[in-house]
């Protein structure tokens, strides 16, 4: 069995947007297991409460905060609430996002494009700005933005999602330069084929339904087509994504800012 690196996060606090989703939940467990307090932010209060209940076994402070990342006032309120409860935030996992529709470019629904950009770009900006202001005043910290391998290669039938994740990588690189003087490191994490989970199942089903030249009409065949495109011939796990976040937040990555860490399984 491969040993998992243990980072020293005891006494620190991580804020996770999209905390009720698969990646947010896995990351919350990863940090709580290493002694960090966890502030969960999400629109889905019921699922977020379930995650918080799971984290009780680690005997670390946990808080839940309703947050719509597209609303700047909501982000400010949630962050202020987290700071009030925990005293300060050390790490911010800017992870909330929306996968969007799957369609060919000439058929992509305009309303979904606007919705996705509002969540994945404007929402990420809202959290990035608010987090930067807090960390600046607190003397430094680390921000990790969730991008995607879609923001590196531009997969078919995912126009809005790819555009949003290219934007997140660009924001990360600029923010890293702007915030370095304040002792704030900013990096991005780009998962590729990660599963099992809701987003993996949804992706294969919707790619199959598009009817493009790239994928079969059977979602099970699509699964294998996509996995066969990866050098390691397997899905990455949620735990491996969380391990990537932990590394980028850790002292071992103290030299890293403006990087995009790809969790791809090879290309």
For the residues 196-203, what does the mean pLDDT come to?
90
Q: Give tens-digit pLDDT for 205-255.
A: 999 999 999 999 999 999 999 999 988 899 999 999 999 999 999 999 999
Instruction: State the pTM of this model.
Output: 0.95
Q: Residue 78 pLDDT more than 90?
A: yes
Q: How far is CA 164 from the centre of its chain?
A: 13
At the topology level, CATH places domain 13-194+237-263 in: Rossmann fold (3.40.50)
List active site positions. 161
pLDDT of residue 2: 47
Q: Which of 185, 189, 188, 209 is nearest to 263 (CA)?
A: 189
Structure-block tokens of residue 137:
């005043």
∠ CA 35-131-83 to the nearest 5 degrees? 55
């Amino acid at each position: 069995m491969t040993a998992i690196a243990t980072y020293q996060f005891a006494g620190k606090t991580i804020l996770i947007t999209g905390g009720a989703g698969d990646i947010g939940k896995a990351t919350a467990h990863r940090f709580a297991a290493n002694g960090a307090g966890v502030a969960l932010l999400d629109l889905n209060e019921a699922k977020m409460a379930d995650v918080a209940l799971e984290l009780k076994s680690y005997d670390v402070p946990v808080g839940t905060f309703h947050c719509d990342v597209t609303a700047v006032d909501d982000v400010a309120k949630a962050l202020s609430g987290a700071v009030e409860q925990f005293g300060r935030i050390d790490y911010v996992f800017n992870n909330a996002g929306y996968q969007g529709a799957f369609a060919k470019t000439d058929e992509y629904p305009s309303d979904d494009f606007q919705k996705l950009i509002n969540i994945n770009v404007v929402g990420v900006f809202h959290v990035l700005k608010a987090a930067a202001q807090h960390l600046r005043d607190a003397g430094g910290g680390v921000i990790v933005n969730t991008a995607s391998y879609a923001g590196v290669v531009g997969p078919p039938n995912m126009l809005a999602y790819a555009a949003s994740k290219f934007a997140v990588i660009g924001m990360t690189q600029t923010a890293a330069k702007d915030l370095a003087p304040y002792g704030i490191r900013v990096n991005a994490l780009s998962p590729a084929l990660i599963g099992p989970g809701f987003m993996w199942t949804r992706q294969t089903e919707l790619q199959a339904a598009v009817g493009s030249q790239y994928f079969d009409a059977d979602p099970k065949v699509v699964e294998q087509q996509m996995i066969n495109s990866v050098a390691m011939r397997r899905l990455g796990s949620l735990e491996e994504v969380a391990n990537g976040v932990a590394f980028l937040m850790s002292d071992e990555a103290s030299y890293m800012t403006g990087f995009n860490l790809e969790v791809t399984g090879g290309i």
